[in-house]
Structure formats: structure tokens, C-alpha cells
């Protein structure tokens, strides 16, 4: 297993990426499972400053960086020596088994959609977010922005992919799937939700519990919460402000602290044939360590094979 | 001016409705402007217990009540002597100028749509909610559930109605209108948002500031926040849980306390020719007092005439 890491992505690159790699190795993982992509001299210098020899770590040099605010498609096309472009090249050619980056999100999405095949049968890949539950658990909300308009069949696939991910990566046994809606009863909602309900109800690969409302997002009612990317994105960005506000107001509340989404170490793109994990731009060492961990777990558990199976 | 009040609506009826009326009158408003609808002996008894003579207050007796969980259409049809049915009869016939209730929300919506005409040119009425802003101000979010599927023209009308309401009732000078979306730039979003943006941009009756994201809902960026009722309803119900959770966790935070939506005294149905205000089922005296105040302000400011004008 080899996981490629974009060392130049994120606001604190490559320093915090290096720190994350050091933390990951300190957890007992072999450096042989990693392949770092980025400015080789700078990366080696950071390792040296932290008192680590980078001799045993494989580094692929890249002398271009895609900035956080560059136009994704344009940048990927023009900067073929960027760490993101090189990373996708390695992944697509099978030289590595997963690719993670805290860099330009748009470029990561475009790179994934254009270089990595969709899982067999998947209409469109999706991105999700962890939702901290009030009872201490975690839920999964998807889609959170990759698909602003969806068909019922897509939501049905999100439910399956989310379920498999919740089971194998989040460790939730028989995850309860809820359809985000404006009312509890079947038949409620907009046309999309109305048409999606029967598909979820008849889907034997998921444990569908029915509609859930806005008030249920933070309760333990559903583990996997499904909606199109418009609603999901707005919910996620709204939830992020809860953390910001409670910090600003000095509330120091353990639960609201869990709305600091950078803790969760990135989100995978689900529905593509290889693991790609995207981190927040503000990722620090812990986030990088967690992102590598998510990628490793995705490879070890065979989560993508299970998704493919359940999507049939 | 006469405002009809459903005294039998809400979890604490008629006691808290009576208390609300007493508070409203204590503020210096004439009892002549009110017409109470409900169980006359029970209402009189409550006034008496509070040491108030109900002699000067007009009461229309009603011997039926629509329960909070009854089927709206069925209940309205079968219970023509209910306080809600009588209230709409009085409003439709012009005997009163506004109607307020904290009763069955569905029955209030159905009653409004079936007995009160839409404002000239309005495609569909809408409901909104107050959003407490972090800077101490208040915003208006609409639609919050009456229209789960919308056309761009409807969102354009919500923007106008919300603007006029924000100006005349909330006292916000030149309210900034934002289109709730998944990105800031024009062209972002789902098909609905993409098609709505140019309409808002060219609408001379509003001060459109562009797209706003989930992270902007609680900031001062926009005063009037427009979306279809699916997203709006989920956002509202999600926001309500912030209050519940912060109370449960004993945070005692002044800002999060403002997410206790029962403080705002009900929401008007916008886009119909007469003022109808719906309150939370859990409304207490303060909420009733505020609801009467909203109805009075709607009549006094001529908010509906201004909407009609700006919708042309």
C-alpha cells in the first residue's frame, strides 16, 4: 500500500504536512507506505529541522503549486508539474493506491473527476461531511456540494455509499439512513424527496428509517443523512459557523467544539474507483495525520469494493 | 382597526392568550381594537381570575376547537364552529382587519389559502422567519416551508415581499437581499438559483447584494435571505435546535437564547390580501402580545399595499 500526499496543499504547507507525516509514522506506521509529492528541498529541510531524517521517505519532487484561489480547470491544465497534477498522475497510473491533499478543493474535485474513473454504475461521485451528534456519536451528511441538482437515483446511490462508508470507516454497525426532508411522513417534501423516498424504502442494501427533519440533524435519529448538494452545502457551512460563533463568544463547550470540522481530517470523494481524500485549507498536523489514516482505512477495509457490490 | 384573536389555539389556550391580551392592553392599546374568538365562559373566567373585567372586550363564542394534530383540510371542513374557521369567516367578510392564531399551523395555512385572496400578482404566498444576527440585528429568511418547490419568479417575489416586510415591520432601512446559494459568484448553484440570480439583479424594488452562503446566514451580510421552502425549512428547524442544545447544555448564552423562536411572536403569511399571523403552539403571553403587535403594525404601516405596489 502506498498513499501519495500533496505536501504543498493547504495554508501551512509544507510544514504542517511534514508534521502530520511525522505524527503518522510516530503512531507506528511504516514510512514505506507513504509517497510525498512537493518541493523536495523544502520538505527535507522541514524534516531536518524537526530532527527527522527524511532518508527513508520517498519524495517525488514537484516545482509547481496550485494556489488556493486559482481556477481549478485552468490551473490543472497549465501546471502539469504541480503537486496535485503529479499526484493524480501517480494515482491514475496505479503507482500509488490513494491520494490526499489539503490544497485547492476545486482542483482536487476536477482532478478526481477527470483522471479517476467512477465506480462501476455510479451516476456521479459525491462528497460528505462528518456531523457531530449530540449523543457523542458521529453521523455522515451527503452530498455537501458536489451535486447541486440531483435525480432520485443519485440520492439512492448516496445512501448506499454513505452506508458502506459509515459501516467500514466510521465503524457504525447497520447505519440508519434518513432522507432529509420538510416533514416526517412519506409523501412530504419537494418533488425530489417525494420521488426518492420509495427508492430508499425498497433498497435492500440500506437500513432506511424514513424522513428526517432539520431538527433531527444533530440527534441520533439517523447515522447517514441524505440530500442533494445544495441543501447539504448550506447546512454544512451553516454548521461550521456554530463553532466559530461559540469560540468567539468564549463558550468553551465540548459539543460545539466538535463543529470544528478541521478535526475530521478531510473528506473522501465517494463513488470513484480509488481513494481520494480532500482536507481543509487550514489543515494542521493532526488533520494531515487523520487524512492519511482515512486513506489507509479505505484501502484496508476494501470500502470501495463493498460500495461497488452494494450498488448493483 | 379590529384584530381577531383565536383564543383556543396553542398548547396553553385559552389562559396564555388571555394573558397576552391583558399585556397588550396594559401597553396602552385600546381593547376596542380586539375581537376574541373562543370559548366565551372559559375566556371570561380567566379574565376574572386575573382581576380583569372582560366587559369591554368583544368575544365571539366558538364551541369547537381544531386540535394541534388534526388533519387541516378535514378539520376546517368538519368544524365550522371552530375558532379558526370563525376567525377566517370574520376576516374574509371584512368584519375584522387581521387574524392571529397559535393553533394548528396547517389549518391556519389552509384557511388562509382558501378564504383570503392572494395579493394581486402573487404566484404563491410565503412564510418567513426572523433570524437573529450575530451583530445584534435581525434578518428575515423566506420561504421556510410553504413552497418546497419554487420557480425563479417566486423567489423574486419572496425577495420583494421580504424587503417590504423588513423595511416596514422590522424597521430595516434599505434591506440587503441575499440569494442563499452554494457559492458567491453569479452562475453558481443549482438550476433554480442560477435562474433566480438575474431576476434579482434586475429587480429595481430590492437592494440585491448577490449570493450568500450557509456561513453568511448569521452574519450581517444580508437582511433578507431568499430560498425555496425546502432549504429554508431545514435551515429553520436546524437553527431551532441550536437553542435547545445550548439550553440543555446550560450555556446561558445571550446570543443562542435568541434562537428561541417563540420570542418572535409568530410569523405572518406574506402574499395574501389581509394580515394573518401564525404563532408557535408553545406560545405564551409574550408571544401572543407580540403577535397582536405584528398584526397591528401590518395594518398601520400599510405593508400589504406597499408589497402590491412593489410587485408590479
ipTM value: 0.93
Q: What percent of chain A has pLDDT over 90?
A: 94
Query: Min CA distance, A100 vs chain B (Å)?
Result: 24
Best of B180, B234, B253 to substitute, by most chain A Cβ atoms within 10 angstroms, is B234
Residue A207, pLDDT score = 98
Residue A193 and residue B230: Cβ atoms within 8 Å?
yes
How far apart CA B19 and CA B285 sit, in angstroms, is 5
Closest Cβ–Cβ partner in A149, A190, A238 for B214: A238
Q: Do A58 and A90 contact (CB within 8 A), yes or no?
A: no
pLDDT computed for residue B260 by the predictor: 87
Residue A36: pLDDT band by 50, 70, 90 thresholds? very high
Give the residue from A194, A238, A280 with the most B CB atoms within 10 Å of its CB, the best one to mutate: A238
A135 has a pLDDT exceeding 90? yes
Q: What mean pLDDT do residues B271-283 have?
A: 93
Q: A225 has which bridge partners?
A: A141, A178
The Cα–Cα gap between A62 and A248 comes to: 39
Per residue in B215-244, pLDDT tens? 999 999 999 999 999 999 999 999 999 999
Identical fold for domains A1-120+271-301 and A123-261, yes or no, is: yes
Mean pLDDT computed over every residue of chain B: 95
The second-level CATH assignment, the architecture, of A1-120+271-301 is 3-Layer(aba) Sandwich (3.40)
CB spacing of B148 vs A228 below 8 angstroms: no
**Nearest Cβ partner for B235 among A234, A245, A253:** A234
- Rounded CA-CA distance A130/A277 in Å is 13
Q: How many CB atoms lie within 10 A of CB A40?
A: 17
pLDDT tens, position by position, B137-168 = 999 999 999 999 999 999 999 999 999 999 99
pLDDT at B117 (0 to 100):
93
Partners of residue B180 in chain A, C-beta under 8 Å: 234
3-state secondary structure chain B: CCEEEECCCCCCCCHHHHHHHHHHHHCCCCHHHEEEEECHHHHHHHHHHCCCCCCCCEEEECCECCCCCCCHHHHHHHCCCEHHHHHHHHHHCCCCCEEEECCCHHHHHHHHHHHCCECCCCCCCEEEEEEECCCCCEEEEECCCCCCCCCHHHHHHHHHHHHHHHHHCCCCCCCEEEEECCCCCCCCCCHHHHHHHHHHHHCCCCEEEEEECHHHCCCCCCCEEECCHHHHHHHHHHHHHHHHHHHHCCCCCHHHHCCCHHHHCCEEEECECCCEEECCCCCCHHHHHHHHHHHHHHHHHCHHHHHHHHCC
At residue A302, the pLDDT reads 97
Q: What is the pLDDT of residue B43?
A: 97
Query: Which residue in this structure is represented by grid cell 434591506?
Result: B175
Q: How many CA atoms lie within 13 A of A178 on its CB side?
A: 23
A189-243 pLDDT tens trace: 999 999 999 999 999 999 999 999 999 999 999 999 999 999 999 999 999 999 9
Q: Is the pLDDT of residue B55 over 90?
A: no
- CA nearest B87: which of B67, B103, B69? B103
- Domain B123-266 falls under CATH 3.30.565.10: no
Quick one: pLDDT at residue A54?
77
- The domain covering A123-261 belongs, at the CATH homologous superfamily level, to Isopropylmalate Dehydrogenase (3.40.718.10)
A chain contacts of residue B231, beta-carbon cutoff 8 Å: 230-231, 234
Tell me the pLDDT band of A263, cut-offs 50, 70 and 90. Answer: confident
The alpha-carbon gap from A145 to the nearest alpha carbon of chain B, in Å, equals 7
Q: Are A234 and B241 in contact (CB < 8 Å)?
A: no
Rounded-to-integer distance, Cα B280 and Cα B289, Å: 13
Write the residue in A213, A228, A233 that is nearest to B237 by C-beta: A213
Q: In this predicted structure, what is the pLDDT of residue B263? A: 77
**pLDDT at position B56 over 90:** no
Chain B residues at the A interface, defined by Cβ less than 8 Å, are 134, 145, 148-149, 180, 182, 189-191, 193, 213-215, 217-219, 227-231, 233-242, 245-246, 249, 251, 253, 255
Q: Which residues pair with B142 in a beta bridge?
A: B128, B226
Residue A14 in this model has a pLDDT that exceeds 90: yes
Instruction: Look at residue B261 and tell me whether its pLDDT is greater than 80.
Output: no
Comparing B153-167, B168-182, B196-210, B277-291, which segment has the lowest mean pLDDT? B277-291
* Shortest alpha-carbon distance between residue A60 and chain B (Å): 34
Q: What is the phi-psi region of residue B271: left when phi exceeds 0, alpha when psi lies from -120 to 50, beta otherwise?
A: left
Contact B241 A191 (CB under 8 A): no
| Spatial contact of A13 and A37, defined as CB atoms under 8 Å apart | no
Which chain B positions have a beta carbon within 8 Å of A214's beta carbon? 233-241
- Report the alpha-carbon distance of residue A278 to residue A116 in Å, rounded: 14
State yes or no: pLDDT of B262 exceeds 80: no
CATH superfamily of B1-119+271-304: Isopropylmalate Dehydrogenase (3.40.718.10)
Q: B179: nearest CA in chain A?
A: A234
Chain A residue numbers with beta carbons less than 8 Å from the beta carbon of B232 are none
A43-87 pLDDT tens trace: 999 999 999 887 789 999 999 999 999 999 999 999 999 999 999
Chain B interface disruption, residue of A136, A211, A231, most B CBs within 10 A: A231
Please answer yes or no on whether B233 and A249 come within 8 Å at the CB atom.
Answer: no
At residue B216, the pLDDT reads: 97
Separation CA A230–CA A117 (nearest Å): 24
Contacts of residue A273, defined as CB under 8 A and 6 or more positions apart, other chains included, come to A116, A117, A118, A119, A304
Q: What percent of chain A has pLDDT over 70?
A: 100
Question: What is the C-alpha to C-alpha distance for residues B229 and B235, in angstroms, rounded to an integer?
Answer: 10
Of B149, B233, B246, the CB nearest to A214: B233
CB contact (8 A) between residue A249 and residue B253: yes
pLDDT of residue B312: 87
pLDDT category at B264 given cuts 50, 70, 90 is confident
Rg of chain B, C-alpha, whole Å = 19
| Other beta carbons less than 10 A from residue A72's beta carbon | 17
Domain boundaries, chain A: 1-120+271-301, 123-261
In B, minimum Cα distance to A235 occurs at B214
Amino acid at each position: 500500500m502506498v498513499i501519495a500526499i500533496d505536501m504543498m496543499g493547504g495554508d501551512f504547507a509544507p510544514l504542517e504536512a511534514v508534521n502530520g507525516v511525522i505524527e503518522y509514522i510516530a503512531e507506528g506506521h511504516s514510512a514505506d507506505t507513504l509517497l510525498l509529492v512537493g518541493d523536495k528541498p523544502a520538505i527535507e529541510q522541514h524534516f531536518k529541522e524537526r530532527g527527522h531524517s527524511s532518508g527513508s521517505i520517498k519524495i517525488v519532487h514537484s516545482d509547481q503549486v496550485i494556489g488556493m484561489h486559482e481556477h481549478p480547470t485552468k490551473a490543472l491544465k497549465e501546471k502539469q508539474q504541480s503537486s496535485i497534477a503529479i499526484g493524480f498522475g501517480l494515482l491514475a497510473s496505479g503507482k500509488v493506491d490513494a491520494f490526499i491533499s489539503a490544497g485547492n478543493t476545486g482542483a482536487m474535485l476536477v482532478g478526481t473527476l477527470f483522471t479517476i474513473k467512477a465506480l462501476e454504475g455510479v451516476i456521479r461521485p459525491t462528497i460528505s461531511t462528518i456531523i457531530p451528534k449530540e449523543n457523542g456519536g458521529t453521523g455522515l451528511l451527503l452530498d455537501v456540494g458536489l451535486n447541486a441538482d440531483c435525480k432520485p437515483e443519485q440520492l439512492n446511490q448516496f445512501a448506499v455509499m454513505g452506508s458502506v462508508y459509515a459501516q467500514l470507516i466510521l465503524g457504525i454497525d447497520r447505519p440508519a439512513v434518513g432522507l432529509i426532508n420538510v416533514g416526517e411522513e412519506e409523501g412530504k417534501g419537494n418533488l425530489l424527496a417525494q420521488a426518492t423516498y420509495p427508492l430508499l424504502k425498497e433498497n435492500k442494501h440500506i437500513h432506511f428509517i424514513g424522513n428526517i427533519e432539520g431538527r433531527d440533524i444533530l440527534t441520533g435519529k439517523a447515522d447517514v443523512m441524505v440530500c442533494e448538494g445544495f441543501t447539504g452545502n448550506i447546512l454544512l457551512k451553516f454548521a461550521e459557523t456554530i463553532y466559530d460563533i461559540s469560540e468567539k463568544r468564549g463558550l468553551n463547550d465540548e459539543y460545539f467544539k466538535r463543529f470544528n470540522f478541521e478535526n475530521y481530517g478531510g473528506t473522501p470523494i465517494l463513488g470513484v474507483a480509488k481513494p481520494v481524500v480532500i482536507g481543509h485549507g487550514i489543515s494542521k498536523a493532526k488533520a494531515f495525520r487523520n487524512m492519511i489514516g482515512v486513506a489507509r482505512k479505505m484501502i484496508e477495509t476494501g470500502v470501495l469494493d463493498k460500495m461497488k457490490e452494494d450498488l448493483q
